[in-house]
Structure 1
Amino acid sequence: MRFLLLFLSAFSCFFSSASYASEEKVIFAYYNQWATYSPSYHINDIPLAQVTHLVYKSAKVDEDGYVDVGDEFADISQAYPGSEEEADFAGTFGQMVLAKEANPQLKTLISIGGWGRSDHFSNIAADDELRANFVESALEFMLQYQFDGIEIDWIYPIASKRVEQQGLEADKANYLKLMIELNRALHLLGNDRNKKFLLIASVSAAPEYTDKWLVRDVSKYLDYISLTTAYMHGWWEQVTNHIGPLYLGPSTRQKLQGFDTEQNSINQAIQSVLDAGAPSHKVVLNAAAFATGWDQVEQTNNGLFEEAGAVSWGSWDSSGTGRQGLYSRGHLIGFMDDPEYQLFWDDEAKMNWLYNPNKNNGHFITFENEKSLTAKVAYIESNNLAGIALRQIHNDVKGKDSLLRTLHTIMYPWQAIAFKGKLFYQTYKARIWLTVAFLVVMSSILLRLIYLQRKEEELDLRDRNQYLKLKSQLQQLNNPLQGIAALAQRLPQHSESITEPSYTQMLQVGQTGQQLNYLVHHLLQDTTLSHSPRQPEPESVDINDSLYVCGNILSPYFESKKVQLSNLGIAKRTMVIADPSYLQKLLITLLSWAADSANKHEKITLTTELDTRHVSLTIAVNGPAPSISIAQLPNMTAIKQCVNLLGAEIHYHSSDKQQSCVLTLLSSKQEPEKLPEIQVTPSTQAPTAQASSRDVQTAEKPSDSTSLEPTAERLKTLQHFSSQATKIKDINELVKEAFDVFVNDPKHPKVEVMRGDNLVHSNTEEDDKVDDGVSISHPDLDDYKFQLYSREPLGEEDIYYYHSLVAQIQMVRRQLHEITKEPQLLSELYEIASRKDKLSYIKAENGYSGIYMPNQADPTYLSLRLKTIKMYFDDDALLQVHRSWLVNPKKVIRIQQISKLKYEVEVDNQKIPIARPYIPVLKQHFPHWFY
């Protein structure tokens, strides 16, 4: 932030300098020497950033042409705070040198002459030697006190003996000579110093004065002509008038007829010198920083152009000076704030005035303000004048009421903005930095809060997505795991069909499935993961494979109902677009419905019809329509839910003798990727008998079953139930690992691994081989094949059974591969779910969540956030009473009110604070806790 402020400050300074460099209009400020005494107005009081040229009035010149300081104390001796002791001079001149250092755009000029100090100009200009002395002395004075130029203020006419003897015409010619020699000397000095030194003439704006100097000739040697239009009317006249009227309109001329006053205006004075040959770009219009007032003015025309009884006592007048009627800007503002003074505008003269009939028998004041200065600046622009000068700058005030600031704002609006910013900074520097520091701290806190909020939102989104994903995976696992458990129960019926090692491996798969089924069921039942169905994940599925699986799973149920399935082994592939898990759940429920509807010893007939877009599966049985009991309603709800999730249609048909339903699914033309096949092959000769091979989607091989063994308590089995094929990248290592899994089994099965026609790995001898074996291949294994040798040939029923088991394993594996990526989440959820009825509360502590149990000294810490935990458990299991506390509602004893807005809940002798937002909810749902 500090760097930014420094950059902006530097940019502001650059912009300020660039503005002055690019603008041509000048702003002069005239500072009177005696202002340092009264009104004690000093160089430091002038807002010099708004000035281009500062003219100091004035230096004096003696009869020999030597220039000297007009007031030694004020000019070079007066001490100011901060002045350097080693400086060659102090006083106002010293302050001007420092002012230029602070304001690089500023040019300073020494004015020589003026009222009371122009007596010797006529004689000096007429004499070659005196003129040379003056030029040399003026330049030395300028260099000694580090001015940038000279102003000649030769007041005409001068009542001198020379004028009386030789006449004014001689002065006009000599004035030209003086300016020529000064110009030449300044030019040579500038070339030597590589600097431009200025020469200015201060010239009277009286209408008759233009004829008293050689305007065209003298102008050639001047940089600027300062036309004193600030003194057009004042205390020397007895008629009220504008101090600096821009124009003199016909109606004004008419009103002034008969009065002893000059009929003049700024426009007349300027046009007079322009007509006489002065270049417009050298003429500087003058305006007054002071106001002029008259007393005893009649109310006619609101006091304008009326005879006055007296000139007002001015701001700096005394008995010694007499009445001069000059008011400072501060004095004027006091009048303007008085409601008895009314403000008026003369649209012809483009000037303002104030009038109060009740003050001093009629008080009239003429002055410059923003409106009149705007008109003058417009005049400067339209006539291509050099700029404007403010006379007697010591009468101005600081701040927003400053006339100089107003003028600067009108002429340089963009630069004025920069100046105001700089002035504001200088005035309120301490407050600004304090505010900036406060804003930086608050911004840092706000950004930190925003960052934490964003981080919290990201964590919430991640946890929400994780929740939805886990819910989908667990719900998708539920049905296949139940299928594996059901098939595993029938495994003993097939024990004679496969070698003992292979039977052991199949048994391990069944046991693992039962363990997983228990864990998944536990997580679903004890959390909110089962509250709503997951979103389906459609893919291309062979409906016949699903029917085989469902038939095998429901085989014991069919036997108990004494019904059979007909046409279960349809060879033709019938592909549909469906979610495998939801399709299996739906088919199991529909076949159960059919078994309940069929007469004993009847068959459940399955037929399919295909068109270009749909597959219709008809399930028909002979028997009367069954009555639907309350116990069967969940099954009907499950059918409806599955049908909706699959985007399918179902229609029921009923008669006294036959019941049927037609399930319509979207047809799929996509063939599934050919995956492991189970086939019966002779061990030493070409195949003699082969069951119809069926491609079943799976990513497991029987040898992977050993990797599904549980290695630790609870979820270790779930975490390691992932195919070894997903862990090993090299195919040769994968095959060797799979072979070792088979060989190292406690039952030591006989295994051969073939690559094409070549034997790669084997633990068999020729005598170990039997007639038939189970051959397992997989596309991921390239042309590798595993063979497990059996004792007896496999029947078709066994083949169907193995297909069913492998299909279930494939569905489970597909989800386990994703689920086991989050072992810590599953472990911690199970940690909570297994204790949710016993735990007292869960508390957020130092980035962890601690489970507190009764009679347990130390809590069990989890990495899950409380907000995440609450997502998985409803209020019946864990109730939030504070952002850092979840309590078991079954353990709550009571709620106590500590103060008007403070409550505590007591859980197993532990008092836990309740956050205020939770109190209304607790009162609504658990009112008995508050009594």
Structure 2
Amino acid sequence: MKLFVTSLVWLFLFGSHSAFAESIRAGYFPFWATYSQSYHVTDIPAERLTHVIYAYANITEQGEVALGDKYADVDRIYENDSPLGGKRGSYNQLRQMQKAYPHIKTFIAIGGWSYSKYFANAARDPDTFARSAANFVREHGFNGIELDWRSPVMKHRGQPANWQQREQYFTLIKATRAALLALTKETGQEYGLSVTLSADDQMMEHWPLPEMQLYVDFISLLSIDFHGSWNDKTGHYVPLNAPAGELSVGAAITRFNALGGQSDKLVLMIASQGTSWQGVSSPGVGQPTKGVPLGSWDNEQTGASGVFSQQDIQRFTKDPSWQQGFDSKSKTAWLYHPEQQIWLSYDSPQGIDAKLNFAQQQRLAGTALWTLPGDASGSGSVLLQIHQFDAPWQSIWIDSRQWLIAGFISLAILLSLLMAYRKFKPAKQEAPISLPDLVSLIEQGAHNHQDVPEPMQQMVQKLQSWQQQALAIESNTEPARDILPVWQQSRSVEALHQELVSWFSRQPGVKSASVYQGDRQLAASDDPQHGEDSQSIQLLLDDLDACVLQLQVSPEHNHEGHYRQLTDQLGQCRQYLMQLCRQPQLLGELHAIAQSKDKLRYIKAERGYSGLYLDGQAEPSYILLRLTGIKLYFDNQTLLQVHRSWLVNPNRVVCLEKLQKGKWQLRLDCGDVVPVSKSYLQWIQELFPQWWSQSA
């Protein structure tokens, strides 16, 4: 027993993060992932990381730190958040994550390409910036700051250098460190400071490397985006090696060392994505292109970036229509689709392994994954590969600890059963039962065995019950189940709809299932697109958002008995959806609309979200509640529906205008125009006849 206890203690110490010194394993979490990728802080595999870097905070024209996206950062309501104020959003989720994983350090990255506009203003007044940065960290619970100025001295290669910014940036770094040290004296907590560094040698040489690394904990090498949509020819996304004069990871690190950089301060950024081009007639580097295709997170509004996530890339590798290759010199993989003429460059496991080995040889401080949302799950995860390379035993512990703990507990129970058997065995029995025999009895159902004493029978029953529970938890195969438990694991309306479509698609007789936002008056109708051997059945899924479930079914399955089970399931789903809509998220979003109604111009449906367009904001604020749900809580004098995808503030409307081809639009006092559907036109003219007369 002493050996068992000692082994268990060592096992827990072995799995703890504090037992061994670790290299840095950082992961970047961009705020826009909560919109475009439905990825949230709770999805972060925190056990495998030492740092989570939240991207990004903004800088005001006055040179002070500000929120990057107010809704995503501090307004969005998650489970256990308060709908009436208090700490909310991704920032609060990071606080909760730290409570569960105290080893994690959370940094706020300031700047990036989108938010570096006023970095120069901040550098001219470093004390003001540093004070605001320290206050920002204290207010929102971060453990450190990453300065991500893109880029001081020389923003792009080939441009004249602004030498004044070299000294200003160094002063800014020193002031920020001083402000964090002052904050430590107030709170008793230590705070970290890091900076990003361009991998372009023409830009790197202008940075105050030897001086600034004395004040920072680490420097993140921006080893991403070496080639992309801005190039008219194909190129490897992030090659480890490249011909002289071209960007590569190896050349960047060599240049960093030559400029006086300390390798133990440098963190290598590794990408969980790849870049692609279209119109490529044959695979390879240097091929002419015709732009880039829509990537994993692109749409017509955002435009095409050509960037694909690791999830999509792994899906492509399993598709035989994609050709695959690996450049042994650059250590970079590629995919090519001959029919679509798309060529994609990315880091395969072989390429990532080469970079990790190179980083180890160079004695770098660690790695940082850009980005966490772009990574794949399971065995295809880039972060998993990094963790297995960097801390293999710790990674094994995380992957196998449930089984190991279960095994130890099982052994302890067996030993306890053995001792209990010896204690309660009949006096006439000459020898105690052996451990193998005991295991055999348990497998055969020892609670029915006449030779086992009653107290031991009870313990055996407990063991068998525990074994069944453990197997149920660890089993990778899902038993047959209805849809309601699946829905209850989802966190958003969109996820619920996806689960619904997936479940119904697997039912007998259902050829296809889809969810769309439709009208309230629904009727079953034949769909000629699916031929004579199928029929379209439409069911109202969601009263709040008027969402429709459409099923394409075979005629032989179109009878009441078969669909009674399906409609029963649908009823459960609708009840749960209404429960979801009563959660604090709904109250908080309605409160946000009501609070800003004086500044609100219109609300527009955009990809499963609703965008609130407000005065004084260049970008919309997004909420999860959709238009038909919003309309239930506001009258026509506050929000008027004029189009399936538009709600307008009638107090901001100037006139109703007729366009060519029978189209109509509303013109607002700010100059914006909102389209009007014909189905709403007569109703609008009856409610607001003055708009018609004003346009005449």
User: Does TM, scored on the shorter chain, surpass 0.5?
Assistant: yes
- Aligned equivalent of 1:317: 298
* C-alpha distance in structure 1 between counterparts of 2:118 and 2:85, whole Å: 32
Aligned residue among 369, 372, 376 for 2:348: 369
User: In the alignment, which residue of structure 1 is the partner of 2:140?
Assistant: 145
Q: Deviations over 1:279-304 (max 9, x none)?
A: 111111111111222223233xx434
Note if 1:14 corresponds to 2:9: no
| CA distance in structure 2 between the partners assigned to 1:313 and 1:124 by the alignment | 36
In the alignment, is the contact (CA less than 8 A) between 2:25 and 2:368 conserved in 1? yes
Residue 296 of structure 1 corresponds to: 279
SS of 1:230 mapped into structure 2:
coil
3-state SS in 2 of match to 1:168: coil
User: Does 1:284 find its partner at 2:282?
Assistant: no
Counterpart CA distance in 2 for 1:5 and 1:336 is 46
Distance 1:87 1:102 in 2: 23
- Alpha-carbon deviation of 1:405? 1.1
Q: CA 1:450–1:305 in structure 2 vs 1: closer, same or farther (change >3 Å)?
A: farther
Task: Look up the SS of the partner of 2:229 in the other structure.
Answer: coil
Residue 642 of structure 2: aligned partner: none
Deviation for aligned residue 1:199 = 1.1
Separation in 2 of the partners of 1:156 and 1:40?
A: 30
Say if 1:20 and 1:10 are closer, same or farther in 2 by CA, change over 3 A: closer
Residues 5-35 of structure 1: per-residue CA shift (max 9 Å, x gap): 9997865553233566422x21111110111
Select the structure of larger CA radius of gyration: 1
* 1:504-903 alignment, distance < 5 Å: none
Amino acid of the residue matched to residue 41 of structure 1?
Y
Q: CA deviation at 1:306?
A: 2.4
1:71 aligns with 2:69: yes
Q: Tell me the residue number matched to 1:218.
A: 212
Once residues 346 and 405 of structure 1 are traced to their aligned partners in structure 2, the CA distance between those partners, rounded to angstroms, is 23
What percent identity do the matched residue pairs reach?
Answer: 30
Query: Aligned partner of 2:211: which letter?
Result: D
Letter in 1 for 2:126: R
Residues 372/191 of structure 1: CA separation in 2 closer, same or farther (3 Å cut): farther
Could you tell me which amino acid in structure 2 is paired with residue 232 of structure 1?
Answer: F
Please tell me whether the aligned partners of residues 370 and 407 of structure 1 are also in contact (alpha carbons under 8 angstroms).
no
- Which one-letter code corresponds to 1:369 in the other structure? S
* Aligned 8 A contact 2:227 2:238 in 1: yes
Mapping of residues 448-459 of structure 1, within 5 Å: 458=431
Provide Cα deviations, 1:666-721, integer angstroms capped at 9, x if missing partner. xxxxxxxxxxxxxxxxxxxxxxxxxxxxxxxxxxxxxxxxxxxxxxxxxxxxxxxx
- Three-state SS of the structure 2 residue aligned to 1:116 is helix
Q: Which of 397, 400, 403 is equivalent to 1:418? A: 397
Q: For residue 556 of structure 1, what is the aligned residue in structure 2?
A: none
Report Cα offsets for 1:796-817 as digits up to 9, x if no partner.
xxxxxxxxxxxxxxxxxxxxxx
2:385 to 403, 406, 412: 406
How far is 1:239 from its partner? 2.3
Q: 1:111/1:304 Cα in 2 relative to 1: closer, same or farther (>3 Å)?
A: same
Residue number in structure 1 paired with 2:363: 384
* Cα distance in 2 for residues equivalent to 1:418 and 1:44: 21
Query: Aligned with 2:38: secondary structure?
Result: coil
Match of 1:307 in 2: 288
Deviations 1:244-274 (A, max 9, x none): 111125xxx6xxxxxxxx7110111122122
Q: Does 1:243 align with 2:237?
A: yes
State how far apart, in whole Å, the 2-side matches of 1:424 and 1:69 are: 43
Equivalent of residue 36 in structure 2, options 14, 33, 38: 38
In the alignment, structure 1 segments of 5+ residues that lack a partner are 254-261, 460-845, 848-931
Instruction: State whether residues 240 and 307 of structure 1, in contact with CA within 8 Å, keep that contact through their aligned partners in structure 2.
Output: yes
- The CA distance in 2 between the partners of 1:453 and 1:340, in whole Å, is 71
Conserved? CA contact 2:154–2:162, under 8 Å: no
1:271 and 2:254 are equivalent in the alignment = yes
Q: Distance in 2 between matches of 1:76 and 1:424?
A: 38
Deviations 1:176-229 (A, max 9, x none): 111111122222333454433111111221231113322222222211111100
Does 1:154 pair with 2:149? Answer: yes
Closer/same/farther in 2, CA of residues 158 and 207 from structure 1, 3 Å limit: closer
- The answer to whether the 8 A contact 2:153-2:206 is kept is no
Cα pair distance change 1:450/1:399, threshold 3 Å: farther
For 2:326, the equivalent position in structure 1 comes to: 345
Distance 1:89 1:445, change over 3 A: same
**Contact kept? 2:27, 2:49, Cα under 8 Å:** yes
Q: Which residue of 1 aligns with 2:309?
A: 328
Q: Is the 8 A contact 1:20 1:105 kept in 2?
A: no
Is 2:352 the partner of 1:357? no
**Residues 119 and 158 in structure 1, CA contact (< 8 A), matched pair in contact too:** no
Aligned to 2:90: 92
Distance 1:423 1:100 in 2: 22
Q: Quote the Cα distance in structure 2 between the aligned partners of 1:66 and 1:4.
A: 59
Q: Distance in 2 between matches of 1:272 and 1:407?
A: 24
- Asked if the contact 2:199/2:252 (under 8 Å) is kept, the reply is yes
Matches within 5 A, 1:65-214: 65-83=63-81, 88-126=86-124, 130-156=125-151, 168-214=162-208
Q: Determine helix, strand or coil for the equivalent of 2:255.
A: helix
Paired amino acid for 2:39? Y
Residues of 1 paired with 2:359 and 2:154: CA distance? 35
Q: Paired residues, what number?
A: 432
**CA offsets per residue over residues 589-644 of structure 1, 9 Å max, x none?**
xxxxxxxxxxxxxxxxxxxxxxxxxxxxxxxxxxxxxxxxxxxxxxxxxxxxxxxx
Q: Distance in 1 between matches of 2:9 and 2:74?
A: 34
Normalised by the length of structure 2, the TM-score is: 0.56
Higher helix proportion: 1
Given that 2:153 and 2:161 are in contact with CA atoms closer than 8 Å, whether structure 1 keeps it comes out as no
Write the distance in 2 (CA, Å) between the matches of 1:88 and 1:230. 37
C-alpha separation between the residues in 2 aligned to 1:59 and 1:198? Answer: 16
Displacement of 1:388 in angstroms is 0.8
- The offset of 1:118, in angstroms, is 1.4
SS at match of 2:241: coil
The 3 A distance-change label for structure 1 pair 297 and 215 is same
| 1:88–1:270 Cα change, 3 Å | farther
- In structure 2, distance between residues paired with 1:389 and 1:216: 22
Aligned mates of 1:7, 1:312 — CA distance in 2: 58
1:452 deviates by: 7.7
Give the letter aligned to residue 272 of structure 1. R
| 8 Å Cα contact 2:153-2:163 kept in structure 1 | no
Q: Name the counterpart of 2:553.
A: none
Q: Which moved more, 1:438-447 or 1:14-23?
A: 438-447
Q: After the TM superposition, which of the residue ranges 10-19 and 379-388 deviates more from structure 2?
A: 10-19
Change (3 A) 1:334 1:194: same
Q: Which residue of 2 aligns with 1:658?
A: none
Deviations along 1:304-358, one digit per CA (max 9) or x if unpaired, are 4422333232011111222211111221121011123343222211222223334
Distance in 2 (alpha carbons) for counterparts of 1:446 and 1:240? 71
1:17/1:105 contact within 8 Å kept:
no
Partner of 2:556: none
* CA apart distance, 1:138: 0.4
TM-score by length of 1: 0.43
